[in-house]
Chains A and B, each alone.
Chain A
Amino acid sequence: MGCKPKLSTCNLQLSTKMRNLWIFISRYNAFFFFIIFFTIGIFLCIKNNAYQRSITLNSTNSVVGSLYERLNVIKRYLYLGQANDSLALENAKLRSELLNIKNVDSSKIVNIKDTIYNQQYTLLSAKVIKNSITHRNNYITINKGSKDGISRDMAVISPQNGVVGFIMDVSANFSTIRSLLNKETHISVLIKKNNAFGSLVWGEGNFNLKKAYVKEIPNHYKINLKDTIITSGAGGFPKGIAVGRISNTQISTGDSFMTLEIDLFNDFSSLQYVYIIKDRLALEQKLLEAKLPNEQ
């Protein structure tokens, strides 16, 4: 708008029609530039939303990632006390389990079967270097990447209790996690008491960090407040990780499934360390399930 048409080098040999077109375009150049740049922006956005993301201009990028890591040092220092507490708590828990194992009277067992080799899940700890909780779709960046054997779609849990999300993008030294606080994340869970399957989602009408929803529980199950929700074992998480407690059963859906509101055990706002779950048999399971007829 308002930019004078650049006709100083106007070619006289152009036909008048072409010249008029050129005048038109250059007079309204603001609008045409807007169309071009805005289309690129929307295109990037859609491309980013698609399942296969090919552009890596995000926090797995080495420049962005290392900047975040450097600044995180300060933040980590401030939260040191809290991190210590949670680690001490976990140590105590592990020690008590160890004590139980040691005190078993094993003198009668002759054959010792090495079960460590057959272990299906191994945990890898990683430091959170960037965490977002204020958006509709939240992502976490951690300081381990493909060098440490992390790959896409691995499940992530937190040290306290509860699920965090799935690995989304991986670079050599960093990876991003699609956190539970994201509209794309669905985690298969069940009610511990009666093994009713459901799907854990966040943010359908309530964007509280401590609340989430379990959908698709059939109506005939009896549900009580304070029932514990655990992971079901499908989709990357080992079975039995505690997720939260039911806080509201009175949500009407209008069909033959109920939706439950739960209080999450996990505090996303103070996440410092996470554990990535490596499933030794994940590939095998995936290949086997790929042979099923496509049922969706």
Chain B
Amino acid sequence: MNSKVIFINLFRWIVLLFVQIFLLRNIGFYNLSTPFLYILFILVLPFNTPNLILYSLAFLTGLTVDAFYDTLGVHTAGCVALAFVRILFISVSLNRESIDEPEPSLGNMGFKWFSLYIILCILIHHIVVFFLEAFKLTEFSYTIGRTLLSAVFTLFIILLTEFIFHNRKSN
């Protein structure tokens, strides 16, 4: 991994967390739908990131978000689960030797693969986050509703971000 890749990802980390904490934290529809854009950082880490580093980065990202959200452990667990799903999905859907793209972005991988990939990852992350936050099953239907509505919101914002920043690169 050369220094350029590290720099790009560090920059992306700072920008995404800044947007998440100071802008998106204040956005929500009737307490039901809140977007979590910051997981895009974990989603588009390079393919050749070693598993240990991937997990550590996910853990640190979650911990940082938790510190600002006052929900210690919730986003941390969500991000770690997200990293696990990412590894599973990539190993199942792609042949490791034939990957010649640096990172799994929309412009590199095409809309079909990328949308399936982020839908799965977002769902797992949101389920873990919202159920850990509620921490009981008595509000099951409400929590499921929040999870799905927030997942749609997050999906929309992530696709929007990807369309804005990545389409040009592939052409």
Which of A40-48, A97-105, A249-257 touches B? Answer: A40-48
Partner of B68, one of A31, A40, A64, A137: A64
Interface size on A, residues (CB 8 A): 41
Determine the distance from Cα of A205 to Cα of B145 in the docked complex, in whole angstroms. 13
Give the residues in chain B near A34, CB-CB below 8 Å: 55, 80-81, 83-84
A46 to B135, CA, bound (A): 9
Question: CA–CA, A49 to B73, complex, Å?
Answer: 10
**B 44-63 binary contact with A (CB < 8 Å = 1; else 0):** 00000011100100110011
Chain B contact surface mostly: helix
The answer to whether residues A41 and B76 also contact, given A30-B87, A207-B31 and a CB cut-off of 8 A, is: yes
In the complex where A29-B51, A37-B80, A134-B28 touch, is A139 in contact with B70 (Cβ < 8 A)? yes
How many B residues have CB within 8 A of the partner chain?
42
Within 8 A of A (CB), among B116-171: 132-135, 139, 142
Q: Tell me which residues across on chain A come within 8 A of B51, comparing CB atoms.
A: 3, 29-30, 33
Question: Which residues of chain B (1-53) have a CB below 8 Å from chain A?
Answer: 22, 25-26, 28, 30-32, 34, 50-52
Known: A1-B87, A2-B91, A57-B63. A44 touches B31 (CB 8 A): no
Q: Which of B75-114 contact A (CB under 8 A)?
A: 76-78, 80-81, 83-84, 87-88, 91, 96
The 6 A-B pairs at the shortest CB distance, nearest first, are namely A45-B73, A41-B77, A44-B73, A134-B28, A41-B76, A48-B72
Residues of A within 8 A of B (CB): 1-3, 29-31, 33-34, 37-38, 40-49, 55, 57-59, 61, 64, 68, 71, 132-137, 139, 141, 176, 205, 207-209
A-B contact list, 26 entries, CB within 8 Å: A1-B88, A2-B96, A30-B84, A30-B88, A33-B55, A34-B84, A37-B59, A37-B80, A38-B80, A38-B84, A40-B59, A40-B76, A42-B77, A43-B73, A44-B77, A45-B71, A45-B74, A46-B73, A48-B71, A57-B63, A64-B67, A71-B22, A134-B31, A135-B31, A136-B133, A207-B31
